[in-house]
Amino acid sequence: MSKFFQQSLDIHRYLRGKWAIKSKVPLQNRDDLSVAYTPGVAAVSNKIAEEPNSSYSLTMKGNSVAIVSDGSAVLGLGDIGPQAALPVMEGKAILFKEFADIDGVPLVINAGSVEEIVTTVKTVAPTFGGINLEDIAAPKCFEIEERLQDIGIPVFHDDQHGTAIVLLAALINACKVTGKSMQSLKVVINGAGAAGTAIARLLRCVGHDENACNPVEDVLVCDSKGIISKDRENLNEEKLKLLTYTNRFNRNGKLKAALEGADVFIGVSKGNLLTGDDIKLMHKEPIILAMANPIPEIMPDEALAAGASVVGTGRSDFPNQVNNVLAFPGIFRGALDARATRISEGMKIAAAYALANAVNNISADHVLPDPLNRNVAQKVAEAVKQKAIEEKLQRPL
Q: Are 348 and 165 in contact (CB under 8 A)?
A: yes
Residue 280 designated active-site: no
Sign for the CA dihedral angle at 376, 269, 245, 265 comes to positive
Question: What radius of gyration, in Å, describes the C-alpha atoms of the chain?
Answer: 22
Residue 245 designated active-site: no
Q: Which helix (H) or strand (E) holds 104?
A: strand 103-108
CA angle, 345 then 151 then 139, to 5°: 60
Residues facing 65 on adjacent strands: 104, 130
User: Distance between CA atoms of 153 and 104, rounded to whole angstroms?
Assistant: 15
DSSP string, 217-257: SEEEEEETTEE--TT-SS--HHHHHHTTTS-TT---S-HHH
User: Distance between CA atoms of 336 and 334, rounded to whole angstroms?
Assistant: 5
Strands 103-108 and 130-133: unpaired
Which listed residue (3, 14, 56, 92) is catalytic?
A: 92
Q: From residue 334, how far is each of 100, 149, 166, 216, 290 by CA, in Å? A: 9, 17, 16, 27, 29
Which listed residue (14, 24, 37, 256) is catalytic?
A: 37
Which amino acid would we find at residue 218?
Answer: D
Q: Is residue 191 helix, strand or coil?
A: coil
Strands 226-227 and 218-223: antiparallel
Which amino acid would we find at residue 51?
Answer: E
**What's the DSSP call for residue 394?**
B
Query: Which residues are designated catalytic?
Result: 37, 92
